[in-house]
Amino acid sequence: MKKAIITILCLLLVSAFVFAGGSNEGAAASAAPKYKEAVVCADGSQITTGDPQSINNLQHNRLFKCSHNTLVSYNSAAAVYEPELATSWEWSSDLLTLTLKLRDDVTFQNGEKFTANDVKYSYERIMGMNSTASSKFVGVLDHVEVVDDYTVKLVLVSPNVDWLDTLALPLASIVNQKAIEADPLKGPWVGTGMWIITDLEEGDFVHMVKNDNYWGGTTPTRELTLRYISESSARLIALQNGEVDVCIGPASTEKGFIEEDPTLELIEIPSATCCYFAFNTSKGPGADENLRLALAHCINYEDVILGASSGEGTRAITNWGPATYGYYDGFGDYTYDLALAKEYLAKSAYKTLTISVKDSARLRAAQVIQANAKEIGLTINIEELEAAALTAKSAFKTAEHESMIYTLGWNSYGDDASRAYGKNSNTNKATLSDDRVMELLKLARECTDDAQRKSYYAEIQTLNHEHAWYIPLFYTELSVAVNKGVSGVIWEGHQSHDYSNIVVSI
């Protein structure tokens, strides 16, 4: 009996070697690299629409970078603007008019030719849309002039050095008038990009096939699917199973599984996302500078990073993107000093503060801060709200929150600061309307001198440090788990990765 088993085992072993050898030979025979035909990327946020102009968030931006094109694009590695649908551009001397020359060899995915009229149609459509996207255009762009089929003039309301950045955002993608008029729902899906959206099931996936008539090159991948998997554990399991090739944001505690698995790779991306504490400075306890400084000096920042993101993050000194134009941290950090904090608190009339938070990482950060504040006798209540309620509660004009923890993904250009500091901006979670800050933002927006512009931004950050409207906490660490064969993706610190040239070698 025993003998029989051993014989069988030996036979199995031998056959395994034979088959393994055979497959090795097969691989050697086809020397050219082989690529997967269908690639799947998974993310924890869902895609709800294929209309690039109606929405402006990470997961949608990733989609629109595949399906649509903008006139210019920003190369964050080289920090330069690059031509996309425009071949060249020129500012007028008063910085009010931007004239762009367009490519003449581009067709839309429905066969229509791309001309200057499409630019006019697209930008006018954004202006009339009344969406989160349109606010980037309304009040900035005055009108669009078609000079000839391949030349277009954009006339601005007031000088804006950062206008090219807006044009590089996926929300400024060029769409096709005929397609939209024929089908208002699916028409906006038609772009000039490398990938054609064929199927979009909300809460599930977006499926794309390659545009064989794409003007800008080709890729061996035939199909690209973006899948929504909300639970991070399930997302990583899908990657380990080979159901997907890219898994955005694996849980930090599960990174060990990625390292263990020889077929997977962990990509760490320098992050532009800052997590910070924001007081509502317009009323209540948040209006009291002593209370704000007391909290700034009693927070144990290392513990916050440990609690909120398992220690994976770097302490932020200023509320600004690390790679964003105008970054300045010359004033140093808030020292952890309980005696000093108690001194500030003694001068404050308030002894309690409510923090409003939404998701789990911020909730954990809030709990650590709650425990820290207890040491100096400051009582903190945590209010957990859902996204919609929190957005409404902290909207600039009707702000009712006392304080909150917020994360902002910083773009690379300077005027991005007006999101956090500008009047009426709903991401201005400090409800800040300080005159000097507003003046500085305007000066910087209209200034072409590099050193001068940077000094304006440095002053804003210094003011913030002195008054502690925002207490910067940490920059989140970004990681993506991928199948080892994945290449061709442009990974971005602001997380709007470009998948259009993704390939997976096998």
Partner 1 sequence: MHRYVIKRILLLIPVIIGVSFMIYFIMDLAPGDIITQLVGEDASEEQIAALQHEYGYDRSVFYRYGKYMLGLLHGDLGTSYITKKPVWDMYITRLPKTFWLAIGASVVAIGLSIPLGIVSAVKSGSLIDNSCMVLALLGLSMPNFWLGLLLIIEFSLNLGWVPSGGFRGFSSVILPAITIGTGHMAVMTRTTRSSMIDVIRQDYLRTARAKGVSEHKVITKHAFRNAFIPILTIIGGQLCAGIGGAVITESVFSWPGVGRLIIDYVHQRDVPVVTGSIIMTTIITGVIHLAVDLLYAVVDPRIKGKYSRKGLRLAPRVKTKRGAA
Partner 2 sequence: MREKNTLVSRQYRKRSRAGEVWHRLKKNKGAMIGLGIIVLLALIAILADVLVDYDTQVIGMTLKDRLQHPSKAHIMGTDDLGRDIFARLLYGSRFSLSVGVVAVAIAVVVGVILGAFAGYYTGGIVEDIIMRATDIFAAVPNMLMAIVIVAALGANTLNLMISVGVTSIPQFVRTTRAAVLTVTGQEYIESARAIGESETKIIFKHILPNCLSPIIVRVTLRVSSAIISASSLSFLGLGVPAPAPEWGSMLSSGRAYLRGYSYMTLFPGLAIMITVLAFNMVGDGLRDAMDPKLKK
Note the residues at the interface with partner 1 (CB under 8 A): 46, 48-49, 54, 56, 130-136, 138-139, 185, 201-205, 227-231, 233-234, 237-238, 240-241, 243, 386-389, 391-393, 395, 398, 418-419, 422, 424-427
Provide the mask over 239-268, with x wherever binding to partner 2 is found by CB under 8 A and - wherever it is not. Answer: ------------x-xx-xx-----------
Beta carbon of residue 256, minimum distance to partner 2 (angstroms, whole number): 7
Cα–Cα distance for residue pair 465/15, rounded to 1 Å: 70
* Residue with token string 């029989």: 4
Beta carbon of residue 156, minimum distance to partner 2 (angstroms, whole number): 42
**What is the CB neighbour count within 10 angstroms for residue 346?**
11
Does 371 engage in binding with partner 2 (CB under 8 A)?
yes
**Rg from Cα positions in the chain:** 26
For residues 463, 165, 138, 427, the Cα torsion angle rounded to the nearest 10 degrees is: -40
Nearer to partner 1, 22 or 262 (CB): 262
Check if the beta carbon of residue 471 is closer than 8 Å to that of residue 295. Answer: yes
Nearer to partner 1, 56 or 115 (CB): 56
Nearer to partner 2, 25 or 386 (CB): 386
Does 367 engage in binding with partner 2 (CB under 8 A)?
yes
| Residue 291 φ then ψ, to 5° | -65, -40
Cα–Cα distance for residue pair 295/168, rounded to 1 Å: 39
Supply the angle between the helices 450-467 and 435-445 in degrees, to the nearest 10: 160
> Segment contacting partner 2 (CB under 8 A): 46-54, 161-169, 301-309, 341-349?
301-309
CA triplet 267, 169, 316: central angle to 5 degrees? 50
Indicate which of partner 2, partner 1, none lies near residue 228 (CB less than 5 to 8 Å, by partner kind): partner 1
Beta carbon of residue 184, minimum distance to partner 1 (angstroms, whole number): 8
> Segment contacting partner 2 (CB under 8 A): 64-72, 302-310, 399-407, 421-429?
302-310
Residue ranges with strand state E in 371-469: 379-384, 403-409
Nearer to partner 1, 94 or 386 (CB): 386
Nearer to partner 2, 91 or 257 (CB): 257
Cα–Cα distance for residue pair 223/239, rounded to 1 Å: 18
Nearer to partner 2, 117 or 309 (CB): 309
Q: Which two tokens stand for residue 208?
A: 């794309």
Indicate which of partner 1, partner 2, none lies near residue 229 (CB less than 5 to 8 Å, by partner kind): partner 1
* Total number of residues that touch partner 2 (CB under 8 A): 32
Termini Cα distance of the chain: 43
CA distances from 119 to 113, 115, 185, 473 (A): 12, 7, 20, 41
**3 state SS for 54-98:** CCCCHHHHHHHHHHCCCCEEEECCCCEEEECCEEEEEECCCCCEE
SS3 category, 409: strand
Nearer to partner 1, 109 or 356 (CB): 356
Beta carbon of residue 257, minimum distance to partner 2 (angstroms, whole number): 7
Nearer to partner 2, 44 or 83 (CB): 44
Does 400 engage in binding with partner 2 (CB under 8 A)?
no
Beta carbon of residue 372, minimum distance to partner 2 (angstroms, whole number): 10
Cα–Cα distance for residue pair 351/496, rounded to 1 Å: 41
Beta carbon of residue 138, minimum distance to partner 1 (angstroms, whole number): 6
* Residue with token string 């992050």: 271
Cα–Cα distance for residue pair 221/195, rounded to 1 Å: 10
Does 429 engage in binding with partner 2 (CB under 8 A)?
no
Beta carbon of residue 135, minimum distance to partner 1 (angstroms, whole number): 5
Provide the mask over 203-242, with x wherever binding to partner 2 is found by CB under 8 A and - wherever it is not. Answer: ----------------------------xxx---------
> Segment contacting partner 2 (CB under 8 A): 61-69, 153-161, 267-275, 379-387?
379-387
* Residue with token string 């997976």: 504
Residue of 372, 382, 309, 310 whose CA lies nearest to 337: 372
Nearer to partner 1, 360 or 448 (CB): 360
Indicate which of partner 2, partner 1, none lies near residue 172 (CB less than 5 to 8 Å, by partner kind): none
SS3 category, 478: strand
Beta carbon of residue 276, minimum distance to partner 2 (angstroms, whole number): 19
Nearer to partner 1, 85 or 200 (CB): 200
For residues 162, 168, 171, 177, the Cα torsion angle rounded to the nearest 10 degrees is: 120
SS3 category, 246: strand
Does 140 engage in binding with partner 2 (CB under 8 A)?
no
> Segment contacting partner 2 (CB under 8 A): 56-64, 133-141, 182-190, 295-303?
295-303
Please report, as a single letter, which amino acid is at residue 193: G
Indicate which of partner 2, partner 1, none lies near residue 297 (CB less than 5 to 8 Å, by partner kind): none
Check if the beta carbon of residue 307 is closer than 8 Å to that of residue 363. Answer: no
Residues within the interface to partner 2 (CB under 8 A): 231-233, 251, 253-254, 256-257, 300, 302-303, 306-307, 310, 358-360, 363-364, 366-368, 370-371, 374, 381-386, 389
